[in-house]
Amino acid sequence: MKKEIIALIVGFVLLILLFVGIAKADPTTAPLNNIVRIHADSIKGSCGTGFIFEKGRVLTAAHVVKKAKTQLIIRYSNGTTEKVKIKRCRVSKKYDLAEIPVKKDSLGIKLELNRIHCIGKKIYTSGYPDSWGVLWVTTGIISSDVISFPKLKKVFLSDIDVIKGSSGSPVFDYTNKLVGVVSSKYLCVTVIVSTEALEEFLDG
């Protein structure tokens, strides 16, 4: 009886995930094999998502790095891990972006940026939500032009669905070009750091 109840609960959760457009992803396919899970050595043991942008560079949201005390643990799509001291990381003072220098980055491809943001354009993101430890993908559209708020600069809004642990996830268009980085979610709206901000950060 207990097993049947558990099976029903799992089935119900999967139905909900399918309804909101979330599905399990294959971490061995490009560009999804660029995506990494980030563990912070904080008291709460918080997690986030990041991605290999190019050789030696993992990008994520700044607040993911700030949650760590002394180091981050990067878990790659093939299961290997790497520890990085937070003092080696570069955190933007202007945008919710951070760069983590890594060595074990032979996986994945060099990502291309898409600088064009068209309202209504279909996009998707993939990351490691909550403590599931499984890569998931969710789809949506661009809902606004690039805008700025007092604490969030050069971002755009989307109806794409994300939850805790998705911060730092890459956002792609349907040609697999990078259009942004997941920052946060307010009610039903997801805030995504634009490639305009990303380019400025990378050139800094």
Integer Cα distance of 198 and 203 in angstroms: 9
Question: Does 97 share its domain with 150?
Answer: no
The pLDDT value given to residue 7? 39
Return d(Cα 134, Cα 150) in angstroms, integer. 34
Residue 36 inside a domain? The answer is: yes
> Cα–Cα–Cα angle for 49, 54, 59, nearest 5°?
30
Residues 130 and 182 occupy one common structural domain: yes
- Predicted TM-score (pTM) of the model is 0.85
Mark whether 73 and 142 lie in a shared domain.
no
CATH number of the domain within which 185 lies: 2.40.10.10
Sheet of strand 22-24, all strands in order from the earlier edge strand to the far edge:
22-24, 136-141, 122-127, 170-173, 178-186, 189-194, 155-158
What is the domain extent for residue 152?
122-203
Which pLDDT belongs to residue 25? Answer: 55
pLDDT of residue 90: 98
Residues 95 and 135 in one domain: no
Mean pLDDT for back-to-back runs of 10 residues, the chain (204 residues):
42 41 60 93 83 93 94 92 96 97 75 90 92 87 94 95 94 95 94 97 90
pLDDT of residue 187: 86
Q: How far apart are CA 2 and CA 6, in angstroms?
A: 6
